A and B are shown apart, each in its own frame.
Chain A
């Protein structure tokens, strides 16, 4: 897949869209297209991500069929012998992790040659902040007003277990890391999955100007870890200076109701997870090796 640097992003992504002030979705799209250039076809699936009008070819289908339309586009491009076009599939966390999880698993199994970006704002934001499988433990949403009682669904590791060639977690606040991973993914054949954590000031109840700062705190407090799994080898790409989770919760309204013992419990989860990831660093997380036909 060709990648080309684009300078003036306003040629590809015009302003005047309906996203909330401070929304990081458009920023993620900007970073992706800046790295991949204009020879792309975007396949989008509902949710807030759909608000951004684009002047690259964009095919929007129903949001429950995550990525499957992109499979069709890939099949057509193969028949027309167009190897120069990158196909990207964008979906929110609800589409990727809940309603479309089966579709994503099938695409992973077929190893279709696309990059799937999950725009994770940690709830069904477009319909008004309802809980999704990827909402973190304890968060307020309109359907879990007393705080979510289950932990965040780990879609990235689930797909890694399905032995796809490349899985990565990124966030907008660490832009160098983001762009490196997108570039790396563009050079790999097969199904690539990149999970983007992005802040929703409206749903997270954070002041819009702190939208990027809260993401930085997410990584520093280990509520979100940046790693990549290339051919099964796990690698932590960011070992940040650490802050307690309390600092991450303090600037967000959706965690304001958490009591001290909840915060301690979450700190314990987070510490255990981080310790486990550090153990895995540099090792293979696959069970066995996948066999794939090379032609």
Chain B
């Protein structure tokens, strides 16, 4: 609902807690998709089926992954006809 509540910014200012941020859903994932851009056939299917709109066009390659929001669900890897996306287990060292 596009209802601007005046106090939201004031609340943030007072409390010092960010209340209007998007969820950092990139932190949810265990596996991370890695696209092999050499084998990519540029069909765009991964971009269509990403539930988080984390695969986007217009970056350096035909498609890019926004790792800030990718939840690692793996739909892109499963649907890619060229099977050029690998789900790699992420490690935080």
Contact = CB atoms under 8 A, between A and B. Distances in A.
A and B are partners in one complex rather than unrelated chains: yes
A22 B75 contact: yes
B51 A23 contact: yes
A175 to B, nearest CB: 6
Contact of B73 (A15, A57, A60, A211): A211
Contacts of A9: 53
A18 B51 contact: no
B23 A16 contact: yes
B16 interface: no
Interface stretch (A24-32, A271-279, A286-294): A24-32
B12 interface: no
Given A209-B73, A211-B73, A21 B28 contact: yes
B22 A14 contact: yes
A110 interface: no
Contacts of B72: 21
A204 to B, nearest CB: 14
Contact of B78 (A10, A14, A210): A210
A253 to B, nearest CB: 16
Q: Which of A14, A27, A57 has the most CB of B within 10 A?
A: A27
A8 B1 contact: no
B81 interface: no
A96 to B, nearest CB: 21
Contact of A211 (B29, B53, B54, B75): B75
B84 interface: no
Contacts of A19: 51-52
Contacts of A22: 51, 71, 73-75
Nearest to B31: A209
B49 interface: yes
A8 B73 contact: no
Interface in B45-59: 48-54, 56-58
Interface string A164-185: 0000000010010000000000
B58 A8 contact: yes
A264 B52 CA distance: 38
Nearest to A18: B23
B77 A26 contact: no
Contacts of B52: 15-17, 19, 26
Contact of B51 (A27, A53, A175): A27
A97 to B, nearest CB: 23
A13 B56 CA distance: 12
B53 A212 contact: no
A207 B72 CA distance: 12
B79 interface: yes
A208 interface: yes
B51 A24 contact: yes
B1 A15 contact: no
B79 A15 contact: no
11 contacts: A7-B57, A15-B54, A15-B69, A19-B51, A21-B71, A26-B53, A58-B2, A208-B73, A209-B73, A209-B78, A210-B78
Given A19-B51, A211-B73, 4 more contacts: A15-B22, A16-B24, A21-B71, A209-B87
Interface of B: 1-2, 22-25, 28-29, 48-54, 56-58, 66, 68-69, 71-75, 77-79, 87
The 3 closest A-B pairs by CB, nearest first: A16-B22, A209-B74, A21-B73
